[in-house]
Amino acid sequence: MARPDGKLSFETFPGEKSPQDECGVFGVWAPGEDVAKLAYYGLYALQHRGQESAGIATSTGSRINVYKDMGLVSQVFDESTLNTLTGHIAVGHCRYSTTGGSNWANAQPTLGATPHGTVALAHNGNLTNSAELYDSLIDKSGFPSRGEMAMGNTTDTALVTSLLAEHPHGSLEEAAMALLPQLVGSFCLTFMDEHTLYAARDPQGIRPLVLGRLERGWVVASETAALDIVGASFVREVEPGEFLAIDEDGLRSQRFAETRRAACVFEYVYLARPDTSIHGRSVYESRVEMGRQLAREHAVEADLVMPTPESGTPAAIGYAEASGIPFGNGLVKNAYVGRTFIQPSDTIRQLGIRLKLNPLQSVVAGKRLVVVDDSIVRGNTQRALVRMLREAGAAEIHVRISSPPIKWPCFYGIDFASRAELIANGLAVEDIRESLGADSLGYISQEGMVEATEQEPHELCTACFSGRYPTELPAAEDLGKSVVAARRKPPVPASDAQLAEQPNQ
């Protein structure tokens, strides 16, 4: 039975598909440390990045063991399981599926047998040339007869693992340096063989990846918050286009591509933990500044600024600070917000959002409210919130959004709704306001959002807002969650093929 812990983001309205997180990766090389428990706590800190499955692989120097399953980190692992994962190297992963379905076969880390040992690999991001890579694998070795792809894994992670396993090079390090320049899209990889921990980040640096130092080792992780929880000191970001190897000889760095930085701006808006820093900028401070900028761009006379818990809170604090309107919590969130396996009755289902959020009537009744949220996807959540606050007696409801209208899909690891389902794709702002039932609606400008991150505009990916993608995209049929699954059909046996070609008698 699922336990309602570990999730920092959640579905506030039944059937509403909010921006889904991608994945979290963690790697540690630390002789003499309990690396499995370090990986466990590192993944616990990254749980917001993926809640579908979790896994940890460890190496003793001669053997790699892996344990993975569906569920949250705290559901997959217990003390006895972690005690079986011995060694001095560990790679961990928590997953939200962006290529390949959500099932056990697609859980990570993936395993592959190479000419020089075993590789265990974890991936955050999404490759956009998976179809091309799959075809090259088939041309090289035919339909996979071993490894995770042969057993039904349909992820781009398993594809990378298979390509590494098929390499003709003298070492896994050489194989990685040959393969990495061929990967297109977003990827932060942490992987290992029996002796060495490796990490790599795509040339655009779309997803975050950081390097930390332990007293007796090294850590790589998706976010700095994961370094904090295991007591590692932040050293630096893994640079875009950089490949790291860590073993008993120390840390080695190589470049496999020139840097063309295009970091995901939505990490600052929503995806990353607020206590994380990305490229030298506090995510929390970025979100507060987005709220300040939102107040400057869309001022309104009101009595109270309130957030949509939890992701709207920093921006609401900034809006209140810049506008001089008092900040308050007008909504109470149910602390036990994990997925439920008990279907609500029709009566309960009609209450919708009240399963997760309930208004403080004494706070909102008779007030002119500014309700701050981080984004609007379909609009179902905001529409239900507006209706609920009106029922609680709010005099006016002014919705403010700390990101611009989302109009384009993401192909780099965020699972938005399809473009046809994005409310801002087909409606003007005034039409969206009318659809929500709000008295006014204001989105932050793209320029204001970018300025709040303190990053150079040309070094950020804003594709979901602007439609300008930082890498070349293939044809539509070669994109999507099922691109590998659609291609991985075993060849028809020759006898059957010959029979199929014979005319009917």
For the annotated catalytic residues, the residue numbers are 23
Bond preceding residue 459 cis, omega within 30 of 0: no
Residue 39, φ and ψ in degrees, nearest 5: -65, -40
In a 3-state reduction of DSSP, which class is residue 228?
helix
**Could you identify the residue written with the tokens 């890579």?**
133
How many CA atoms does the CB half-sphere of 227 hold within 13 Å?
Answer: 26
Q: How many other CB atoms are found less than 10 A from the CB of residue 347?
A: 7
d(CA 131, CA 147): 19
C-alpha gyration radius of the chain: 24
CB of 187 closer than 8 Å to CB of 202: yes
**Could you identify the residue written with the tokens 């919130």?**
385
User: Amino acid letter at 213?
Assistant: R
Q: How many other CB atoms are found less than 10 A from the CB of residue 391?
A: 10
Q: DSSP string of 94-138? A: EE--SSS-SSGGG-SSEEEEETTEEEEEEEEEEES-HHHHHHHHH
**Could you identify the residue written with the tokens 């930085």?**
261
Closest by alpha carbon to 93, among 65, 123, 70, 125? Answer: 123
CB of 375 closer than 8 Å to CB of 269: yes
Residue 361, φ and ψ in degrees, nearest 5: -60, -35
d(CA 485, CA 348): 37
CB of 411 closer than 8 Å to CB of 128: yes
Closest by alpha carbon to 213, among 193, 223, 227? Answer: 227
All residues at 6 or more sequence positions from 110 whose CB lies less than 8 Å from its CB, including other chains: 120, 121, 122, 148, 153, 155, 157, 158, 161
Closest by alpha carbon to 159, among 179, 178, 177? Answer: 179
Q: Where are the alpha helices (DSSP H) in 230-364?
A: 266, 283-297, 313-323, 346-351, 361-364
